[in-house]
Structure 1
Amino acid sequence: MTIELLAIGKTDSKEVAALVEMYARRVNFYCKFSVTTLPDVRNTRKLTPRQQAAAEGEAILRQTAEGDFVALLDERGEEFRSVEFALWLQKRLNSGPKRLVLVIGGPYGFSEAVYARADARISLSRMTFSHQIVRAIFAEQIYRAFTILRNEPYHHE
Structure 2
Amino acid sequence: MKIQFWSVGKKNDFYVNEGVTEFSGRLQKYFPTEWKIISPPKNAAQLSVQELKKKEGELILANLQKEDYLVALDERGKLYSSEQLAQFLQTRANESQKNIIFLIGGAFGIDETVMLRANAKWSLSPLTFPHQLVRLILAEQVYRACTIIKNEKYHHI
Smaller-chain TM-score bracket: over 0.9
Please state how far the C-alpha of 1:41 moved relative to its aligned partner. Answer: 2.2
Question: What amino acid is the match of 2:83?
Answer: V
What TM-score, normalized to structure 2?
0.96
Change (3 A) 1:145 1:9: same
Number of aligned residues: 157
Question: What amino acid is the match of 2:38?
Answer: L
Instruction: Write the distance in 2 (CA, Å) between the matches of 1:107 and 1:10.
Output: 11
* 1:98-117 alignment runs, 5 A limit: 98-117=98-117
- 1:52-85 C-alpha deviation (Å, 9 max, x unpaired): 1111111111221011110100000000111111
3-state SS of the aligned residue for 2:75? strand
Partner of 2:68: 68
Instruction: Write the distance in 2 (CA, Å) between the matches of 1:60 and 1:120.
Output: 16
Question: What amino acid is the match of 2:15?
Answer: E
Identity among equivalent positions (%) equals 38
Instruction: Write the distance in 2 (CA, Å) between the matches of 1:130 and 1:41.
Output: 20
When the two chains are superposed, the root-mean-square deviation of aligned CA atoms in Å is: 1.0
Question: What amino acid is the match of 1:16?
Answer: V
* 1:138-157 alignment runs, 5 A limit: 138-157=138-157
Change (3 A) 1:12 1:153: closer
Instruction: Write the distance in 2 (CA, Å) between the matches of 1:89 and 1:139.
Output: 13
Partner of 1:118: 118
What TM-score, normalized to structure 1?
0.96
